[in-house]
Amino acid sequence: MTQNEKAANGPLPGIVNLYDAEFQDSLKYASPGYYPSLNGAELADAARSGVYPQATFTGSFEGPNQVYAWRSQDGYQGVSFINNRKPGELYLMGGDLPHISGPVAPGPFVAKADATTVAQIWRTYLDNANVSGHWIAVENTNFKHVTIALDGTLILKDQTRPIGETGQGSFAMMRGVQQGLKQPNSVIVAVDPSTLDILDSIVMAEPSSVPHSITTFEGKTAIYIAGHVHAFRYFWDPATKKLLQDQSWVVSYLQPGQSDGTAPSIMGDWIVIQNNGAGSKVVASSVVAINCKDPTKMMTIFPFGPLKSGGFSFAPPKNGSDAENNMLYSQDLGVGKVAGIKLEPTSGEMKTVFVVDDRTTCLVGLIGPMDKRVMLTSNQHHDFPFEPTMLALGTGLYKEQVRWRNAATGRLLAESDLFEPMSPNTLVTPGYGGRVYFPTDLGFVTLQVMPKAKP
pLDDT at 139: 73
Domain boundaries, the chain: 1-97+362-455
Of the pLDDT bands very low, low, confident and very high (cuts 50, 70, 90), residue 262 is: very high
pLDDT at 243: 98
**383 or 67, which is more confident?**
67
What is the three-state SS of the chain?
Answer: CCHHHHHHCCCCCCCHHHHHHHHHHHCCCCCCCCCCCCCCCCCCCCCCCCEECCCCCCCCCCCCEEEEEEECCCCCCCCCEEECCCCCEEEEEECCCCCCCCCCCCCCEEEEEECCCCCEEEEEECCCHHHHCCCCCCCCEEEEEEEECCCCCEEEEEEECCCCCCCCCHHHHHHHHHCCCCCCCCEEEEECCCCCCEEEEEECCCCCCCCCEEEEECCEEEEEEECCCEEEEEEEECCCCEEEEEEEEEEECCCCCCCCCCCCEEECCEEEEECCCCCECCCCCCEEEEECCCCCCEEEECCCCCCCCCCCECCCCCCEEECCCCEEEEEECCCCEEEEEEECCCCCCEEEEEEECCCCCCECEEECCHHHCEEEEEEEEECCCCCCHHHHHHHCCEEEEEEEEECCCCCEEEECCCECCECCCCECEECHHHEEEEEECCCEEEEEEEECCCC
Whether 394 has a pLDDT exceeding 80, the answer reads no
pLDDT at 384: 76
Kindly report which listed range (57-66, 171-180, 320-329, 352-361) carries the lowest average pLDDT score: 171-180
pLDDT in tens, 240-249: 999 999 999 9
Mean pLDDT across the chain: 93
Whether 225 has a pLDDT exceeding 90, the answer reads yes
Whether 46 has a pLDDT exceeding 70, the answer reads yes
pLDDT in tens, 303-360: 999 999 999 999 999 999 999 999 999 999 999 999 999 999 999 999 999 999 999 9
Whether 266 has a pLDDT exceeding 70, the answer reads yes
pLDDT in tens, 183-214: 889 999 999 999 999 999 999 999 998 999 99
pLDDT in tens, 72-115: 989 898 888 899 999 999 999 988 877 777 888 888 899 999 99
Whether 137 has a pLDDT exceeding 70, the answer reads no
